[in-house]
Structure 1
Amino acid sequence: MKRINVIGTSGSGKSTVSRMLANRLQYPYLEMDAIFWKPNWQESSDEEFFANLTDRLNDECWVLDGNYNRTAEIKWARVDTIVWVDYSFARTLYQAVKRALIRIATKQELWDKTGNIESFKKSFLSRDSIVLWTLKTYNKNRVRYTELLNDPKYHHIDFVRITSPQKAKAFIAELST
């Protein structure tokens, strides 16, 4: 395991699992949202995003945190392992809401030098709400990721499906550094 992509619905725990994996394996942690988002919630163009992502994935070892389905050809060209964080709907929704509330309360900048912070309006009352996104994509993602597991096009990739925080900790603890 040298090039790992951690996937899952927003709020599932991708970032937590990714950071734990990167720390355990002593690999660079790459966050797709940090590569994509610019200051003031401006989005990168696909051209810019794809170039930045390709550049960041040139290293020999990394843990990539994120989905962005349109980047599959780029990120999975060299990936050897996909870790799917597939917790229950109730747990995922709870984590998404809790995370949003903590970020709102702490006014935590999400990605360095962007100034992007969560607000109550953006998190709960907007069409771009991360909580709404979690509600809308949970079932679709489970179908899509199950299909990926069985797609012969990706037979060269090891898929690891993690269904609870306890199983995530056990999986990571078993890894040798």
Structure 2
Amino acid sequence: MKKIAVIGSGGSGKSTFSALLGKELNLPVHHLDQLYWKPNWVKTPKEDWIKIQKGICDSECWIIDGNYQSTLDIRFEACDTVIFLDVNRYTCIYRALKRTFLSTKSQYLADGCDERFNIDFIKFLWEYPGNSKPVIMDKLNALKSKKRVIIARSGKQALRLCKSSQKVA
């Protein structure tokens, strides 16, 4: 495992897990939220966004954490492993609300992007299992014959599965 794409709903623990896995495997970690968002939640232009991701994917080894479905295929094409944190919606929403109301800025967010309550984001998290997850699962099922695909209910489970799959590989 040298090129790993970590995906999952917001609040699933992608960034925390990716940081731990990066230390475990001694791989550089790239948090897409830090790269995509500019101060005050300004988006990176699409053309630049694609170049950023292709540049990272051309590297020898990496862990990339984030969804961004419009560019998911770039990462899926380049990776050797996909880890999908399939965490239940209640946990994801709880984590998102906890970050917001405790005003704990995630260390994995871009500078100048403070946590904020956003009803559209909460709605996205609630609808993720019905809207986004089926698309992800279709892509993962198509990848299974070509790539290592790990689906886990938590970061801890994903770490255990990564360790056991490395022993097998």
Shared fold, TM over 0.5: yes
Would you say how many aligned residue pairs link Structure 1 and Structure 2? 166
Aligned to 1:22: 22
Aligned to 2:150: 160
After superposition, the Cα gap between the structure-2 partners of 1:156 and 1:36, relative to the gap in structure 1 and judged at 3 Å, is same
Deviation, 1:86, is 0.5
Matched, 1:32 2:23: no
Distance in 2 of aligned mates of 1:110 and 1:61: 20
After superposition, the Cα gap between the structure-2 partners of 1:65 and 1:90, relative to the gap in structure 1 and judged at 3 Å, is same
After superposition, the Cα gap between the structure-2 partners of 1:59 and 1:97, relative to the gap in structure 1 and judged at 3 Å, is same
After superposition, the Cα gap between the structure-2 partners of 1:97 and 1:3, relative to the gap in structure 1 and judged at 3 Å, is same
Aligned to 2:112: 115
Distance in 2 of aligned mates of 1:44 and 1:160: 29
After superposition, the Cα gap between the structure-2 partners of 1:79 and 1:115, relative to the gap in structure 1 and judged at 3 Å, is same
Aligned to 1:61: 61
Q: Does structure 2 retain, via aligned residues, the 8 Å contact 1:33–1:66?
A: yes
Q: Does structure 2 retain, via aligned residues, the 8 Å contact 1:82–1:158?
A: yes
Deviation, 1:146, is 1.9
Deviation, 1:109, is 6.8
After superposition, the Cα gap between the structure-2 partners of 1:9 and 1:107, relative to the gap in structure 1 and judged at 3 Å, is closer
In structure 1, list runs of 5 or more residues that go unmatched.
none
Q: Percent identity?
A: 28
Deviation, 1:108, is 5.8
Deviation, 1:28, is 0.4
Deviation, 1:107, is 5.2
Deviation, 1:93, is 2.1
Deviation, 1:30, is 0.4
Matched, 1:148 2:144: no
RMSD (Å), alpha carbons: 2.2
Q: TM-score, with normalisation over the residues of structure 1?
A: 0.82
Letter in 2 for 1:44: T
- Deviation per residue, 1:31-80 (Å, 9 max, x gap): 11111111221101110111112112221111100111111232122111
Q: TM-score, with normalisation over the residues of structure 2?
A: 0.85
Q: Does structure 2 retain, via aligned residues, the 8 Å contact 1:18–1:63?
A: yes
